[in-house]
Structures are given as structure tokens and as C-alpha cells.
Structure 1
Amino acid sequence: MRLLMIGDIVGTPGQSALYDHLPRLKRGYHPDLIVVNGENAADGRGITRSIAREMMGSGVDCITLGNHAWDKREVFDFIDDEPRILRPANYPEGTPGRGFARISSRQGELAVISLMGRSFLSSVDCPFRRADSLLKQLKPGTPVFVDFHAETTSEKQALAWYLQGRVSAVVGTHTHVQTADERILPQGTAYLSDVGMTGPYDGVLGMDRDLVVKKFLTQLPVRFEVSQGRTQLNGVVIDIQPSTGKAKRIERVRIDDDQPWFE
């Protein structure tokens, strides 16, 4: 089973980069399943129904969210009806939507879990204990992918070690900068601290760099806007043994507008 996970889609430039490159990524990697983090897809904050439908129409199997899940109010109108759109599972009981899904493929079923960290983010339930409760619903050996939307590398690494041998992969999102620490832990869990973002290449985490610099210089409130111009796509490909749920291979993917693409 081959999974392609594409990092945080930022605004219209991120959507364009996804749709531009996804057909070639499919031809080049032949993924069985595609997961995309879409929490920044609508103007840099949140997601809309039309964006989600367009992503799924392009071949995306599951969309994960994060701390910006609720920034577009219309999400409350459709998230309960979209089983393949996941907000973090460790939001408190009664929160709209779901944080866990079973996605079918020609190579079998993949369980996808969305979790959010607690360091420097909103107060939510414990992601470690929430993962435990969700994994109890699955048979041992089931392929499981975890999108851990968290700020600190230490929290991401800790969760990966805590879940190693029980999930196929733990991949971090949220910080928008792809890390170079991909590995497979001793008990067969693939890990990457952050998959990176898909969107503006010349901004600061996808936002207009001049506005971000102004914020740092003045310490005054500044309304950030999505940067324009060149784009990048960041992702990761993970090969999983369907019968055991163990990861066999992990490879980072990065496509920049100023670099040639070889199919």
C-alpha cells in the first residue's frame, strides 16, 4: 500500500500547486491513497465546502485539518456530513465532525487519525490518550496513518515513539517547513517531523513576507495575507505492508517552481 500525503495547502496558490502537480505525482508514484492537510486552503485559514469538493474531485481521498479548522464558519454546515474530512480527534466531546476515518483502497483499508498537539496551541484533550482509545477500535496490524498537527518537534517525536509499532506512520503538520528527519522507527512506524506546506514559495510560511516583517518590526497587529508568485509542493510517500501495517519505506517529496520536474 502506497500513501501520498501532501502538506498544508495554503490559499489559492496552494490549491493551484496541488492541481498542477497531482496528475504527475500520480503517474510518478502510483499512490493507492492520497491524504492532504487542507486547514489553510481558504485564504490561508480554514476550508470551504467548494474547496473540499474540488480536492476530492481531483483524487484526494481524505482531508485533515488542524487549529484553523473552524476559521470559515460555513464548515459547521458540512463537516458532519463529510466522513473524509477530519478535524483533530482530540477536540473535546461534542465538537462537530470526526477525527478518525477508514479509507478503502485497492490494497486494503487505511485508518486515518487526525490529532493536534497541546504545546503552544489551543487547550485540547490529550493526543496520546485519544490515540490509545481510537486504536482500541482497530484490529492489530491494521494500517494506520496519523497526521499530528503540532508546534514542537519534541511533542511530535514523543508521540511517534509512544505509538511506534501500533501505527504505520506519524507525520507532522502545522509548521509549514519540511524537515529532513524522515525515518522508520525500530517497530515499523514511519516518521517525519513536518511534511511542509504547499503554496507560496517566497512568503513566510505562506504569508506575504512584507506583512510578516512589519509585524516583527512594530509588534503591532497586522492582518496577514497569502503571498503570491512562485509556489512549492511538499509531501511524503510511505509504503506500508497491508498485512502487518508496518512501514517499509518513506520518501520526502518537494517540487519548487524554480526547479525542473522529471517524471
Structure 2
Amino acid sequence: MSDPHFQLLFVADVYGRAGRETLAELLPQVKAEFKPDLTVVNGENAAAGHGLTGKLAQELRQAGADVLTTGNHVWDQKTFLAEIEDEPNLLRPYNYPPGAPGIGCLVIEAAGLKVLVMNLQGRIFMPPLDDPFRAADEILAAHPDVDVIFCDFHAEATSEKQAFGWHLDGRASAVVGTHTHVPTADHRVLPGGTAYVTDVGMVGPRDSVIGADKESALRRFLTGLPHRFEAADGVVTFNSVLVTISRLTGRAVSIQRIDREHLC
């Protein structure tokens, strides 16, 4: 008898060189242990904490990512505006206004199932984009015949993330939050069968300020003056979640945190 469950591994925001090196070291180990059917990685901070490039996207795929998601830093590296169209299985938030390069959702075949992966961005304390709630409705209406639906919701406010989870409860297999780089302890399956967590965390330096060197961050807070954040070094946290989904119903059975540490 075939396995009645589909497993999706999501790895949180990869931050800088230390995050990339940790992903390359630990992701193959985690995949060998848990054997996910699909692996999605958020790579929007891979370029020294500021965006992504085509070369680094390839590096993340070589580490084991099947699909890459992003967020509000997707355009930080200006060359990526031209590169993103040529990147396979890479998403930017769907709710950018019409005309933005790239795509915000895709359907990928994995372990015999059609999996819809969508990437949306919140609006509270974030750059103004189109309504992510109605954008999600639009995506779902356009893809009625998929088996599994996964969403990376890249947002700042916990209230907006929780509201978004309830909005898709029973309609998506999983909604995971990204952006704050701080993992939350509220992972669970909502009553309608949607796995949810407010923020998965990051693959980035532990002794930092959300991945940035703590001294440079402190200078900004203490002086009030602009100061570019630099990526920190040292022990790196690897934050991820494994979602187990019923092949029959597309509803989540469980969501578990998989957290590791690695010294770069």
C-alpha cells in the first residue's frame, strides 16, 4: 500500500552567507531523515541579508530546494529584476501590481500530486501592495483541480498573519508565516484542516538582530541615524517545519518544527 500522506518541508528565510552555508550543510541531512516529497525554501535574504541573485538562487536549489519563495526584499539586488524571469520554480509575492516581473504562484508535480505553491505579502507595516486576501481568493479560484495547496505568507504583523490563516482555513493545506526571522510556538492544524504557524523563523545567525550584526543594529537604535545592516556570523539557526498532508483530502494531518544549529 502506498503512503497515504504527502510531506512538505518548508525552510525559513535564508540569511546571508552563513545561512547559505548552513542550508547546504543541514538541508540534505534533514531531507535524508524526514524524506519530504517537496521542499520549499524562502531565499529572499540570501544575498548578505539583502535580496537574491540568480547565482544564489541556483546555489539554494543545489542545496535541495525544489521551490523558492521570497518577500519584500526580492528586489534589493537590482540585477534580479532582469534575472527573475529566467529562474525556474521561483516566486515573488503574487500581490505585486500588474507588470512586476516574475510569478507569484505555480503548480508543481511532486510524488504523483499537483501542488499549488503561492507566495503573498502582507500590508501592515510593509510596503503597500494589493490586497493579499483577495489575491489568495483569486489564485484558488484559478486552480480548482490541485491536490495540495501551500502558502508562504510574508508579513510583519502577527494579527494579519493569523487573520490570513483563518481566511484560508479549510481551503489550503498549509499557511506558514515568514519575514520576522523569529520563530513562533503556535504551530498547529486549524479546525478546517489547514496547518498554520505565524512565523517559521530563519536560517541565519543566532546571536544577531534578526540576522544582522548586533553591533550595527545597536548603532542604529542608539543613534537614530541610518546605518546599513551587515550579516552576522557564528552559530546559525536552521528553522523549518514539516507538514504532513492527507493525499485523499489535501488537509493537513500535522505540522512539526524541525530546528537545528550549525557553527559556520
TM-score strictly above 0.5: yes
Q: CA deviation at 1:232?
A: 1.1
Alignment partner, residue 3 of structure 2: none
Q: CA deviation at 1:255?
A: 0.7
What is the TM-score normalised by the length of structure 2? 0.95
Q: Distance in 2 between matches of 1:245 and 1:88?
A: 23
- Aligned partner of residue 232 in structure 1, secondary structure: strand
Q: Distance in 2 between matches of 1:238 and 1:122?
A: 29
Alignment partner, residue 261 of structure 1: none
Asked if 1:15 is matched to 2:20, the reply is yes
Residue of 1, 10, 17 corresponding to 1:5: 10
- Aligned partner of residue 244 in structure 2, secondary structure: strand
Alignment partner, residue 216 of structure 1: 221
Alignment partner, residue 77 of structure 2: 72
Alignment partner, residue 138 of structure 2: 133
- Provide Cα deviations, 1:181-228, integer angstroms capped at 9, x if missing partner: 001011100000000000111111000001111111111111110001
Deviates more, 1:62-71 or 1:99-108: 99-108
Q: Distance in 2 between matches of 1:39 and 1:50?
A: 13
- Provide Cα deviations, 1:75-104, integer angstroms capped at 9, x if missing partner: 112211224110000000111000001121
Unaligned runs of 5+ in 2: 1-5
- Provide Cα deviations, 1:19-76, integer angstroms capped at 9, x if missing partner: 1101110111101100000000001011011111121122211000100000011111
- Provide Cα deviations, 1:96-137, integer angstroms capped at 9, x if missing partner: 000001121114121100000000000100000000000011
| Contact 2:54 2:87 (C-alpha < 8 Å) held by counterparts | no
* Structure-to-structure mapping, 1:61-100, within 5 angstroms: 61-100=66-105
Deviates more, 1:54-63 or 1:145-154: 54-63
- Aligned partner of residue 219 in structure 2, secondary structure: helix
Asked if 1:255 is matched to 2:235, the reply is no
What is the TM-score normalised by the length of structure 1? 0.95
Unaligned runs of 5+ in 1: 259-263
Alignment partner, residue 120 of structure 2: 115
* Structure-to-structure mapping, 1:162-241, within 5 angstroms: 162-241=167-246
Deviates more, 1:70-79 or 1:151-160: 70-79
One-letter amino acid of the counterpart of residue 127, structure 2: S
Q: Distance in 2 between matches of 1:141 and 1:185?
A: 20
| Contact 1:14 1:199 (C-alpha < 8 Å) held by counterparts | yes
| Contact 1:83 1:98 (C-alpha < 8 Å) held by counterparts | no
Identity among equivalent pairs (%):
48
Change in Cα spacing, 1:129 to 1:186, as seen in structure 2 (3 Å) is: same
**Count of matched residue positions in the alignment of Structure 1 and Structure 2:** 258
Alignment partner, residue 39 of structure 1: 44
| Contact 1:198 1:231 (C-alpha < 8 Å) held by counterparts | yes
- Provide Cα deviations, 1:121-177, integer angstroms capped at 9, x if missing partner: 001000000000000112266310000000011000001101111100110000000
Alignment partner, residue 48 of structure 1: 53
| Contact 2:23 2:63 (C-alpha < 8 Å) held by counterparts | no
Alignment partner, residue 59 of structure 1: 64
Q: Distance in 2 between matches of 1:50 and 1:140?
A: 34
| Contact 2:120 2:132 (C-alpha < 8 Å) held by counterparts | yes
